[in-house]
Structure 1
């Protein structure tokens, strides 16, 4: 299912983000590339969080977009315009590019994806 793929990608991005923070924290503190890679490749997620905490970084306090990424999609928006023929204000629907910087996680993200995909299937567009 498509939602499963996007959920997996979000989790993978989260793991990669945590590893990257650890990698560059160690590199910036005197470790060479080989030492850094060997150190973090054997660590669990909780060990990586502890490593960052020892260097004064609380991973949980970092901005969501750095941990979970962002979402970019088309969204139907109702706008107002002026019809010069009828001389009246009219509402119209416009698809606009929307960027979500605070993606939800886990089951809430999965439900968001399901609603989004169901809407896409029903109308042929998001």
Structure 2
């Protein structure tokens, strides 16, 4: 786990395994703490669930472009939340996500939000 999004993604992957009642992941120690029912889940199932969950690189910055005035600004995206509103500093238009997008960075940014870059699914889901 090399970035701040990895523990969140690993925790979500572990929580989806049938039989898991609790999953916590510590970024500093790079290790999970999982409580599960061994009758319903196995270590192999947990390992398989997390196999694709850790990213190697994710872009945390993007250039967001206002569709009203075309003003562009470099922004740092949150790693664990979707930005549902963004006010253009130039024309003061409040941007909202396009239908089907999880946030304004996925709609108007040069790069998708970190969870979409890694897993193709939104952090809100």
**TM-score normalised to structure 1 length:** 0.29
Q: Greater relative contact order (Cα 8 A, min sep 6): structure 1 or 2? A: 1
Q: Which has the larger radius of gyration?
A: 1
